Amino acid sequence: MTDTAAEARAVLRGGIATGVGSWPGTDIREATATVVGELGELPHLVELPGRGVGADMVGRASALLVDMRFDTTPRGYRLAIRPGAVARRARDLLRGDLDALEEAWETAGLTGSGLTVKLQAIGPLSLAAQVELPVGHRVLTDSGALRDLSESLAEGLATHAAEVAKRLGAKVLVQLDEPSLTAVLAGTLKGASVMNTVRALPAPEAQHILDNVITAQPAPVLIHTCADRPALAFLRQTATTAVGFDMSTITTADLDPLGELLDSGHHLALGLIPTTAPATPVTWRELAEPGVRLLDRLGFPRRRLATQVTVTPACGLATAPLDWARKSLTLATEIATAYADEPEALTFD
């Protein structure tokens, strides 16, 4: 990585809020204006998977890859021999999304401000778990294809991040989404048929793949996972600067790995806001409590909430009603403000 630890801390400050990435609807300009307006300290490049092929997490990667492209199958995506309609659509959508972000950035008067913007891309392990080879097996089952895919993603994502930084005059935070990480490590992915299995990827091999993508980036990297059991101990060994997860998935067994992450200087992105509206209205104080309790249980001073913790929704908001998506960002910002101001003074009934 080209950034120093000090530069990483400047990009990833605590006590602020951001989104995970996806957003409901299909209107990119409205979505981008909302995110830039609500998340002034750390807005992100919006993803709108509701637009269909090439706009979802996996298809969008086709716009980033170097010398590799995807086609579609009844099950999802597969590697294609030559560029086709999927690749063209993904690139067109990403280009339009960047134009919308630059327009919103200029409208908000942020150009050249040196603020930070977050970019998201599916991580190499989840990408290889979800994309098929031309013969129908997951890319993850072929070590050579896995290596080629991860190298292509690393190069394309680095170019993408550099372009965004130049267009906006901003610092960049790169988020790698790894929803399949736990399944990849545990060997619980299904094969192409009942006769085929997908072996568990050994942790050293998985770390090597991830680290090659992370260290190729011209910016700090946050790895986010929405897995039911985030692989926290594994992630602490990687070159990532920060780890994000759904706070509701954390159990007592996760406390030691979380303490080790904080103690080693990693930043946490706590997913405190549910992706669906609770049956009864909730306040920011109720949603803030698990984060405060976590620091208390780990024995860390609450001031770490202001220096090592960013607040996010639990996962992407693509399936949320638009009003709850907007409310989620407001709640996240209110919690982050409380964490940044006087976390020691927070009390709960």
Quick: pLDDT tens for 299-344: 999 999 999 999 999 999 999 999 999 999 999 999 999 999 988 8
Longest dimension (CA), the chain: 60
- Three-state DSSP at 19 gives coil
Give which of 241, 299, 301, 230 is closest to 268, Cα–Cα: 241
With a pLDDT cut of 70, the percent of the chain lying above it is: 96
Of 75-89, 124-138, 268-282, 309-323, the range with the lowest mean pLDDT is 75-89
Mean model confidence pLDDT for the chain: 93
Q: Supply the pLDDT for residue 153.
A: 98
pLDDT at 112 exceeding the cut of 90:
no
* Rounded average pLDDT over 131-154: 95
Q: Give CB contacts under 8 A, 24+ apart, made by 56-59.
A: 57/21, 57/22, 57/120, 57/122, 57/177, 58/122, 58/127, 58/130, 58/131, 59/86, 59/90
Of 49-58, 76-85, 139-148, 301-310, the range with the lowest mean pLDDT is 76-85
User: Is residue 7 very low, low, confident or very high in pLDDT (cuts 50, 70, 90)?
Assistant: low
Q: Supply the pLDDT for residue 1.
A: 41
Q: Supply the pLDDT for residue 82.
A: 80
pLDDT at 16 exceeding the cut of 70:
yes
pLDDT at 297 exceeding the cut of 70:
yes
Give pLDDT tens digits for 21-47. 999 999 999 999 999 999 989 999 999
CATH number of 5-345: 3.20.20.210
User: Is residue 194 very low, low, confident or very high in pLDDT (cuts 50, 70, 90)?
Assistant: low
**What is the signed CA dihedral for 122, 128, 132, 133, rounded to 10 degrees?**
130
Q: Using CA atoms, how far apart are residues 266 and 234, in angstroms rounded to an integer? A: 13
pLDDT at 251 exceeding the cut of 70:
yes
Q: Supply the pLDDT for residue 6.
A: 62
pTM exceeding 0.85: yes
Residue whose token pair is 């003074």: 345
